[in-house]
Chain A
C-alpha cells in the first residue's frame, strides 16, 4: 500500500533560517514524488516534482530511495514561504496519495 508520512504538523522558523520539511514514503514500485503548496486563500498548487530536479522559489527536494525520503529544503526561509505544504506520492494509477501536511510559519 502507498503511504506518505509528514511527521511535523507545524514548523516555525525565523526569516533567513534554513528550513527542512520532512517526507517519508512507502511504495513497492518506482515512486513519483511531488511537493504541493497552499498559500493562504489560494488554491493548492504544484511546487516541485522529483523527476524535474529543479529549484522552485529556492526550494529543492532530493529523492533518497534508500531512506525512502523526499525532504523539502530551503537554505534561507522568507516570510512569503509561510504556507501549508503537502508531500504526495504518485503510483501507477494516476492517483496521488497525500501526506497530512506541514504548516510552515516563517517569523520576521
Chain B
C-alpha cells in the first residue's frame, strides 16, 4: 500500500511566521504535489515536483515555495504566513510510468493550518 505521510495534522501559526509543511512518501514515486483544499474551491495545485531538486509552479504558487532534496520528501514553505493561507493542505504523489497505477495520485491525510 502506498503511504503518503504529512508530518502534522493541525498547525497553528502567527502572521509573519515561516512555516514548513513536510510530506514523505514510501513508494519511490517520481512526482510529488502540494494542493490546498478550500470549501467551494476544490483542490488547487500550489507546486509540484517531478524529480529531486526539480519543481514547477502550479495554479496558485504566490506566497509559497517548495523544497525537494530527497526523492521521498517534499516540503512546502510559507515564507511569511498570512491569514489568507489558513487552509487544508494536501500532499500527493504518483508515478508516471507504473502500468495500471499510472497517473493515479495518492494523498496524505492533510495538514489543517490556521494562521492567526
Interface residues of B, dominant DSSP = strand
In the bound complex, how far is the Cα of B33 from the Cα of A96, in angstroms? 10
Q: Is the CB of B48 within 8 A of A95?
A: yes
Q: Is the CB of B42 within 8 A of A94?
A: no
Please name the residue on chain B nearest to A99 by beta carbon. B42
Q: A32-B103, A34-B104, A44-B90 are in contact. Are A95 and B45 (CB under 8 A)?
A: yes
- Bin chain B's interface residue count: 20 to 34
In the bound complex, how far is the Cα of B42 from the Cα of A9, in angstroms? 10
Interface-side segment among B13-21, B63-71, B75-83, B106-114 = B106-114
Q: Is the CB of A43 within 8 A of B103?
A: no
Q: A86-B43, A99-B42, A100-B41 are in contact. Are A94 and B94 (CB under 8 A)?
A: yes
A105 to chain B, nearest CB (A): 15
Q: Is the CB of B109 within 8 A of A94?
A: no
A30 to chain B, nearest CB (A): 12
Residues of A within 8 A of B107 (CB): 43-45
Question: Could you pull out 30 A-B pairs where Cβ atoms are within 8 angstroms?
Answer: A6-B42, A9-B40, A32-B103, A34-B104, A43-B107, A43-B109, A43-B110, A44-B43, A44-B92, A44-B107, A45-B107, A46-B104, A46-B105, A86-B42, A90-B103, A94-B31, A94-B48, A94-B50, A94-B103, A95-B33, A95-B45, A96-B103, A96-B105, A98-B35, A98-B44, A99-B42, A100-B41, A100-B42, A101-B42, A101-B43
